[in-house]
Amino acid sequence: MGPQGDYATFKVERRGVDYVPRALRPLTPRRLAGLWAGASFNLEYVVYGALVVSLGLGFLQAVLVIVLGNLAWVITGLASLQGPAAGTTAFGVGRAVFGPRPNRVLAGLNWLTQVGFETLGLSLVVLGGLALVREAGGHPGRPAEWALVAAAAAVQLVLPLFGHATLTSALRKLGWLFAASFVLLAVLAAPKIHLHGGFHGASWEVMTVAAVVVLSGGAMSWTSDANDYSRYLPADTKIGPVVAAVALGAGVPVLLAEVLGAAVAAGVPHLGSVSVVAGLPAVFPSWFTIPYLVVVICQLFAINGLDLYSSGVSLQAAGVPLRRAQCVAVDTIICAGLTAWAILSNSFTMLLGDFVQFIMVWLAPWVGVYLVDAALRRRRYDLRSLFASDGGLYRRRHGVSWPALIAQLAGMLGALSWINTGPFTGPLSRITHGADLSIYVGCGIAGGLYWVLARTMVRRETDDSCADEAPDLVGFSHEASS
């Protein structure tokens, strides 16, 4: 088996956004569920749960928003079905949906989104590391903070540098440790939790903002990356097990973690969303503080591994002529610089909330167009055209699918009209006293308009497509051709 066909742990994966031949797909839905679970039992989601309460919700209101928001992991499962069918990532498939040129722009936006999440995760790692140093009696100054940022960035590079097989194996094993630590965390925090604590209740407008935080920090933010991990499933894998693997493997741990974060934030006065990292140990017996921080740091490295892997293949799909491993290295350097700036900012909590809301302006319409297109095509793609460097069924006029581009832009305009963030509040949000319906409006407008404009074209393309594996695609490599 050649280097492009290798799928082994702790061996650098050379495959990037390129095609995965059907004979080289060893993944199963169970292993896919393990990968998602290992990444999702994570303090980052405890932070989001605390952030929901910090917006002004009472605990029971927060639980309602969290439960409903995590039903969206079914959508992430549906966005995982194209990888096995097409043998590539979402922004490999995106060439069929949007055309090559708009797809590169959208892949670039996804890269920026993932770098933002990487910065969030690495910032929390550094905050946890600083808390660990203080627990040991140290007094870290600015040089120590910079050194910790550099060291953390180097450590988080390891898993995504090796690639898919290593991430899958490591996260499945770490998932058991993380699940056990979560149970212990919940048991030790239970005496401090007051189910009627927190704020006295929020208006429905504030609850819509909280719902956007849950959706954009969780299920919706992963839709554009879901096929990065499912593409190693056999092409004939049934739909139900794939959707269940994602919806349950990721959705259940995220739901539990966010409810715990909301409960602790409601029961412990003045515990802000980010100080969960350093402040939550005060809830526990003193002996648990150091083990808690060590596990938290490992969890954050795990989820950042997925973010870095996805940002690397997204950077390739955006047209940057680098190998996947080189893309991961570039992202790590950028992420380290942004983290150094973020931990010096006094507005980190505000930046976090604004970031996870604002990414939905482009991502929610993308989800609407992408999933409607997948339903119209019935997961059938012309593989030769999908990977053609020029021409092919999906080239269309000037490399643009105008129905998809129009629908995407209309959805973004609708989302902007309903968004409510610190830097910008849409006109319709202002009229409704701050309600944020950006995700639903953006996704609905884009998906509905795309169905109206593109259904005839897409069905015609589907009839003309050849879904069989083309012989010249076996072993096809973006890296070998660049």
φ and ψ at residue 198, rounded to 5 degrees = 80, -150
Tell me how far the alpha carbon of residue 326 is from its chain's centroid.
Answer: 21
φ and ψ at residue 397, rounded to 5 degrees = -90, 120
Alpha-carbon distance of 435 to 427, in angstroms, equals 11
Alpha-carbon distance of 369 to 313, in angstroms, equals 21
Q: To 5 degrees, how large is the angle CA 180–CA 185–CA 189?
A: 155
> What was the pLDDT predicted at 123?
86
Q: 343 and 119 in contact (C-beta within 8 Å)?
A: no
pLDDT in tens, 216-250: 889 999 999 999 999 999 999 999 999 999 999 99
Q: 13 and 162 in contact (C-beta within 8 Å)?
A: yes
List domains and CATH numbers for the chain: 16-347 (1.10.4160.10)
Residue with tokens 């809301």: 357
Amino acid at 124: L
pLDDT of 138 strictly over 90 = no
Helix axes 164-189, 251-267, angle to 10 degrees: 30
pLDDT in tens, 86-109: 999 999 999 999 999 999 999 999
Give the predicted TM-score (pTM) of the model. Answer: 0.89
Tell me how far the alpha carbon of residue 241 is from its chain's centroid.
Answer: 20
CA quadruple 180, 182, 188, 193: dihedral positive or negative? Answer: negative
Alpha-carbon distance of 465 to 115, in angstroms, equals 35
pLDDT in tens, 274-307: 455 555 666 667 777 788 788 888 888 888 999 9
Rg (CA), the chain: 22
Greater pLDDT, 175 or 287: 175
> What was the pLDDT predicted at 99?
94
SS3 92: helix
pLDDT of 141 strictly over 60 = yes
SS3 420: strand
pLDDT of 480 strictly over 50 = no
